[in-house]
Every structure is written in C-alpha cells, then in structure tokens.
C-alpha cells in the first residue's frame, strides 16, 4: 500500500513554540501553489513550550482526503520526533535532522541526513525559528520542486516584513543547496506523480472555511470565550472584523457569549458563537433560550475528548448526543456535520439561512481533526452562498399609535413573521417564558399547546427544505456499506482508495444532517442484505444509537474509539478487510 506513487507523506516534528505547525503550513501552501493536493494534520499537546508538536503534510496528484500511517520524510528537531514516529517509517524513508537537537541515531535502519540547520541560520544572522525554512528547502529539492513556490508563499505571508522574507528565502536556499551539493541523487527521489492540473489550490482549515462562509453569509456579531479547538475561528473573525465590519466580542464566559448572540440576533444581526463541548455545556441554557425566543443563532462546536477538560488539543466525536439533547424542554434544533473543509464552507452558508428561515438554533458540528486540519480545494464558489433571511419583514406604521407586532403569530403557519426592534410604529417582544403571539407572557396550557408545537414541529419544515442530508460514495449497493458522519469522511475515502486498488468496492453513507435525522434516506440505503460498518470517533456509537432509535437498525460491525486521534485510512482498510472476510 505504501508504494503508491500518488502521494507522499512528510512529518515535521519538534518542541512547541518553534514554528513546527507554521512550517507545515508554509510547505503545504508551496505544494498547493505548485498544483498538488495537500492534507495537513497537526498534533500537539496542550502546552506553549516544549513537548512534541508534529505537522503531518501529505500531498499528491489526486485529491488527498486525510493523513495516513506512513512517513516518507521525517524532519526531526528532537529525538522525541523520531522515537514516537519511527514505527511509521518505510523502506525508502529518510530522516532529516538537526545534529544540535537530535543525537544517537545509530540503531536506525533508515537513511539519515544530518543538516546543521540551526547553525546555518545563525550564520546568516537569522532568528533560530528560521531553521524550519532550511528543512523546507531540503524537502523541496528531494521532491523536485522549484524554490520559487516557497518564495511566493513567504513573500505573501510576511508582506512588508522584508527582513523576514530575506531570512526565510536564504534559509530555504541553504537547505536546498545542502542536499543538492551533498546528496544530488536525491532529486525526485520518490518520483511522486506530478500534478496533472497545475492550478493553484486553496489550502485551508475547517475553522477558516467556516469563518469565510460566515462572513459571506453576512455575519455581523460574533461572541466567544477562547477555547481549543474553536479559538482559531474566533481569531479568524477577529482578524477580519475591521475590513468586513463585524462586531466581535470576547465574552466573560460562554454563558455570556450565547446570550449576547441571542440579543444581537433579536436586534437583527446574523449572529454566531463558537466553542467546544465543554464550553457548550455552559451555553446549554442559552441554547434553549434561543429556541424559546426563536432568535436565529448559529453555534459552531468543535469537539475534543471529554468529559471535563478531557484532552483539549485532540479530536473526538463524542458530543453528538449531548448536543441533540442539550437544554431542558423540547424544541427543534438543527445539527449539521460537515465532513471536510469544502462542505464546511457551503454548509455554513446553509446553516445561516436555515437559522433565519426557521428561526431556531443551528449547530455546525465539527471536531478538532476538521477544525484545525488543512486540506486543499480547487475552488470555493462564494456566489453559491445566497442569503435568505426568511420572514424578516419591515411593515409600515399602522397608525399614530404604536402597535405590538404579533411576533409569534401561530395561526396558519409555523414560522411567524419577524420585525426588528426599532421598526417605526411597532414594538416587538421576545420572551423566554411561555408567551402568546404578542410575546408577552401567557402561562396557560391552551397557549402552551400551540406555541410548543410550533417550536417542535418546525423541524419538519427544515426536513423538507434540506436538499442533501446524506451523501454517498463508492457503490452504495455493494454488499459492504460503511456508515459514518463528520470528519471520519476523509480517512474513510482514503481507505476506499486503498480498497479500490485491490478491486474491492464498498459503499459509504455519510450522514450530513444529524437533526433533522434523515431516516428515510438512510433507510433506503440500508435496505438489503449487507454488512454494515459503523465508524465513529466515540466509544458508544452515537450515530449507531440514532439508527437504532429511528430505524430499529443495529449495525453488525462497529469501529469505535475516542482516544483523541483521528482514524488512519489503513486501520479502516484492515477493519473492512476483516469484515469482508468474515461470514
């Protein structure tokens, strides 16, 4: 499996605080500019200095959906980087290391190349962190890519910081030259297929995809309390707040954040919060209030292993059922789980429209693997995000007397018209207590009956509205069918690629909307005598439990785990092979 020429995997590893993840991004961007498809997974402990950070950069001539179990080029800035990852090395692997920070490599049966990276950058008077660019230069020689692609990335990134541009370019050149002079035969050593399509690709994280689409969707208010792995979305919106006119507030808590967003939504802004499971715990009461007041709010949740603080910098899919049930009382909520950065972009656009049209909370549910992982896409079509604010109206004043707008009018339709406070001639009420159509409190069973039903049954309208709540890949009519949701899509598609190379075709059903739950579509796909494999990054099989609950269906094979790491394509490949062999 590891001999395929269609992709190559590079791991850069070293202590936190030394620019490991940034250099992964630089390398990835250079490759994407060259025309390669790129996928990057960063793993890092929750600390600021020391430890071991790694950036796994995989690229190829075809679309790359995830990282994998092999490392061809290992760039080591510490012994840890080698010790923890040598199991992934293959026959042709090369370890590039800095002799100042890596020692005693005698027992390794792999090609090792010592490059005095730190010494080289100190010689040119550059800061130590620039050593990463020496490594990138060396890599580019080995994979036979002109340094210019890296130079473009550096020039764009540092913009007017001339000195930084100069240092990084010089460093890359030194790295490139070092290999060229000492190991000239390594040029194009892996003979990776060159990209057929030379168009530059967009390389972005799930957080960035959601941020971009939110801005396009008219996001005007964003509140957050910093939390991994959702903070990068907060930072992204923060960085764009002035040019795109967005109010961004660092709230005193998640409690405050969601209530601020609810207020901003009532006043008319498209509003969003971002958090992870533990932060959403604090938002839960506000989540119900959003539903009760029917204020549209989009909530981005990036999962990490819990409970408690759990493992803040790792990935998980264990918060699904929590989110599906969060808050007391019953009401409609929408939960959408993109599987990759491209889906994150378009589904975020859809999330804002659904929130507005149906006046309810919409959760964009991702995990650390998708939120912080990077992937290339060819193109993002911003014109496909078309803003629809639903029944937001601006009635003319009725008379000289100020009227109360029937904000929660329940007569013939489920979704009431909405006006903004400040509309001339009208006042409008929002209320977390049970209320009648005026929004003034009315705590009597007859009113309750009507209002509660409106809030619950709107999910049926959402169901009719959503065009694609399930996606399929491979051959869904095959005897073996994988069912999963969210970011596992990447490793699953990669596993299917491995299977296809052995002429094994399986089907894959990706559940995109978890609420409303697409029972009809899934039921249709599960029909027939099949081996169904459930794959989830949790221990209890939460999608599995939804299948049981909604379809009385219990998948026979389950690949479940929540140890903090995303699945590897090879693990899934092996699991599927076992299933196929089983009777």
Residue closer to other proteins (CB basis): 247 or 415: 247
Give min distance, CB of 26 to other proteins, in A.
13
Interface with other proteins, residue 354, by CB under 8 A: no
Q: In what order do the strands lie in the sheet with 531-536?
A: 470-474, 507-511, 480-485, 531-536, 557-560
- What distance in Å separates the CA atoms of residue 248 and residue 234, rounded to the nearest whole number? 8
Measured CA to CA, the distance from residue 276 to residue 256 in angstroms comes to 15
- Report if residue 271 touches other proteins, rule: CB under 8 A: yes
Which range, of 36-44, 104-112, 418-426, 461-469, touches other proteins by CB under 8 A? Answer: 418-426
Q: Print the binding letters for residues 478-517 with other proteins: x by CB under 8 A, - otherwise.
A: ----------------------------------------
578 binds other proteins (CB under 8 A): no
Q: By the 8 A CB rule, do 292 and 357 touch?
A: no
Q: Which residues pair with 441 in a beta bridge?
A: 435
7 versus 429: smaller Cβ distance to other proteins: 429
How far apart CA 228 and CA 207 sit, in angstroms, is 11
Q: Does 431 bind other proteins (CB under 8 A)?
A: yes
Bridge partners (DSSP) listed for residue 375: 39, 204
Q: Which is nearer to other proteins, 255 or 551 (CB)?
A: 255
Shortest distance in whole angstroms from residue 131 CB to other proteins: 26
Q: If binding is defined by CB under 8 A, does position 144 make contact with other proteins?
A: no
Residue span 241-260 as binding mask against other proteins, x where in contact by CB under 8 A, dash where not: xx-xxxx-x-xxx-xxx-xx
Q: Is 32 in the site for other proteins (CB under 8 A)?
A: yes
Size of interface with other proteins, in residues (CB under 8 A): 72
Distance, in Å, from the CA atom of 235 to the CA atom of 219, rounded to the nearest integer, reads 15
Considering only residues 214 through 243, tell me which ones interact with other proteins, judged by CB under 8 A.
Answer: 215-218, 220-221, 223, 240-242
For residues 75 and 210, which CB has a smaller minimum distance to other proteins in the complex? 210
Report the distance separating Cα 492 and Cα 481, nearest Å: 11
Q: Does 432 bind other proteins (CB under 8 A)?
A: yes
As given in the structure block, the two tokens for residue 547 are: 């299948």
* Alpha-carbon gap, residue 443 to 377, rounded angstroms: 52
Residues 147-186 that bind other proteins (CB under 8 A): 156
In the chain, the N- to C-terminal Cα span, in Å, equals 25
Is residue 202 part of the contact set for other proteins (CB under 8 A)?
Answer: yes
CB of 159 to other proteins, least distance (A): 11
H or E element at residue 290: helix 277-293
Q: Which is nearer to other proteins, 131 or 435 (CB)?
A: 435
Q: How far is the CB of 361 from other proteins (least distance, A)?
A: 14
User: Is position 427 an interface residue for other proteins (rule: CB under 8 A)?
Assistant: yes
Identify which of residues 76 and 223 has a Cβ nearer to other proteins in the complex.
Answer: 223
- State phi, psi for 566 to the nearest 5 degrees: -70, 160
Q: Are 369 and 334 in contact (CB under 8 A)?
A: no
Tell me if 422 contacts other proteins by CB under 8 A.
yes
**Least CB distance from residue 109 to other proteins, whole Å?**
40
Here the tokens at position 22 are 């940034």
The residue among 55 and 538 lying less far from other proteins, judged by its C-beta, is: 55
Half-sphere exposure of 380 (CA within 13 A, CB side): 25
Q: What angle do CA 113, 118, 123 make, to 5 degrees?
A: 120
Among 15, 310, 406, 425, binds other proteins (CB under 8 A): 425
Residue 387 phi, psi (nearest 5): -70, 130
Cα 15 to Cα 20: distance, rounded to the nearest angstrom? 8
Q: DSSP class of residue 147? A: T
217/542 with CB nearer other proteins:
217
**Residue 371 touches other proteins, criterion: CB under 8 A:** no
Residues from 181 through 200 that contact other proteins (CB under 8 A): 200
Q: Which of 165, 380, 447, 456 binds other proteins (CB under 8 A)?
A: 380
CA distance 469 to 550: 15
CB atoms within 10 A of CB 108: 13
Distance, CA of 92 to CA of 105 (rounded, Å): 17
Inter-residue contact 136 to 118 (CB < 8 Å):
no
CB nearer to other proteins: give 66 or 293. Answer: 293
Task: Give the total residue count for the chain.
Answer: 583
Residues 527-546 contacting other proteins, CB under 8 A: none
Contact flag: residue 351 with other proteins (CB under 8 A): no
The region that residue 454 occupies, defined by phi over 0 for left and psi between -120 and 50 for alpha, beta otherwise, is: alpha
Q: Is the Cβ of residue 60 or residue 439 nearer to other proteins in the bound state?
A: 439
375 binds other proteins per the rule CB under 8 A: no
Q: What residues between 386 and 405 interact with other proteins by CB under 8 A?
A: 387, 389, 402, 404
- State which H helix or E strand residue 107 sits in: none
Shortest Å, Cβ 574 to other proteins: 35
To other proteins, the closest distance from the beta carbon of 382 in angstroms equals 5
- Tell me how far, at minimum, the Cβ of 453 lies from other proteins, in Å: 21
What is the closest distance, in whole angstroms, from the C-beta atom of residue 448 to other proteins in the complex? 16
Question: Interface with other proteins includes 33 (CB under 8 A)?
Answer: yes
Cβ proximity to other proteins: between 188 and 250 the closer is 250
Give the HSE-up count for residue 144: Cα atoms under 13 Å, Cβ half-sphere. Answer: 13
Q: Residue 179 has which token pair? A: 């290999």
């Amino acid at each position: 499996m590891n001999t395929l020429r269609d992709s190559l995997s590079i791991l850069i590893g070293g202590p936190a605080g030394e620019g490991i993840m940034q250099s992964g991004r630089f390398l990835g961007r250079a490759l994407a500019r060259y025309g390669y498809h790129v996928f990057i997974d960063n793993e890092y402990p929750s600390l600021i200095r020391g430890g071991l950070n790694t950036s796994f950069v995989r690229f190829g001539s075809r679309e790359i959906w995830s990282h994998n179990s092999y490392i061809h080029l290992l760039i080591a800035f510490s012994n840890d980087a080698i010790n923890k990852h040598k199991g992934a090395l293959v026959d042709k692997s090369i370890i590039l290391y800095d002799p100042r920070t890596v020692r005693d490599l005698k027992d390794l049966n792999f090609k090792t190349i010592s490059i005095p990276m730190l010494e080289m950058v100190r010689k040119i008077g550059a800061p130590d962190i620039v050593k990463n660019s020496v490594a990138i230069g060396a890599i580019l020689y080995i994979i036979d890519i002109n340094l210019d692609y890296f130079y473009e990335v550096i020039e764009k990134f540092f913009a007017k910081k001339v000195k930084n541009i100069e240092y990084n370019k010089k460093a890359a050149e030194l790295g490139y030259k070092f290999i060229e002079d000492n190991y000239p035969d390594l040029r194009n050593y892996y003979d990776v297929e060159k990209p057929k399509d030379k168009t530059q690709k967009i390389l972005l994280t799930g957080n960035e995809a959601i941020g971009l689409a939110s801005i396009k969707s008219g996001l005007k208010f964003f509140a957050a309390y910093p939390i991994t792995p959702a903070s990068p979305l907060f930072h992204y919106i923060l960085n764009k707040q002035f040019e795109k006119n967005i109010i961004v507030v660092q709230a005193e808590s998640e409690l405050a954040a969601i209530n601020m967003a609810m207020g901003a939504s009532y006043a008319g802004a498209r509003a969003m919060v971002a958090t992870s499971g533990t932060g959403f715990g604090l938002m839960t009461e506000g989540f119900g209030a959003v539903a009760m007041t029917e204020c549209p709010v989009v909530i981005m949740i990036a999962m990490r292993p819990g409970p408690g603080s759990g493992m803040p910098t790792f990935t998980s899919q264990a918060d699904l059922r929590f989110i599906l049930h969060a808050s007391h009382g019953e009401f409609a909520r929408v939960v959408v789980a993109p599987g990759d950065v491209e889906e994150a972009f378009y589904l975020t656009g859809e999330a804002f429209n659904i929130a507005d049209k149906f006046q309810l909370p919409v959760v964009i549910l991702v995990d650390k693997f998708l939120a912080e992982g990077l992937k290339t896409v060819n193109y993002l079509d911003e014109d496909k995000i078309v803003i629809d604010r639903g029944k937001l109206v601006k009635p003319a004043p009725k008379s000289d007397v100020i009227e109360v707008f029937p904000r929660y009018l329940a007569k013939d339709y489920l979704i009431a018209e909405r006006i903004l406070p400040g509309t001339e001639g009208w006042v409008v009420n929002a209320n977390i207590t049970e209320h009648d159509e005026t929004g003034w409190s009315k705590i009597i069973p007859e009113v309750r009956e009507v209002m509660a039903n409106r809030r619950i049954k709107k999910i049926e309208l959402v169901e009719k509205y959503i065009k694609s709540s399930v996606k399929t890949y491979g051959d869904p009519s095959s005897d073996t069918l994988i069912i999963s949701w969210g970011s596992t899509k990447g490793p699953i598609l990669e596993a299917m690629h491995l299977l296809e190379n052995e002429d094994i075709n399986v089907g894959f059903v990706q559940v995109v909307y978890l609420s409303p739950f697409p029972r009809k579509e899934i039921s249709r796909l599960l029909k027939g005598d099949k081996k169904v494999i459930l794959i989830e990054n949790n221990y209890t099989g939460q999608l599995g439990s939804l299948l049981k609950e909604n379809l009385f269906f219990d998948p026979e094979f389950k690949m479940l785990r929540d140890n903090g790491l995303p699945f590897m394509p090879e693990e899934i490949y092996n699991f599927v092979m076992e299933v196929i062999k089983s009777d």
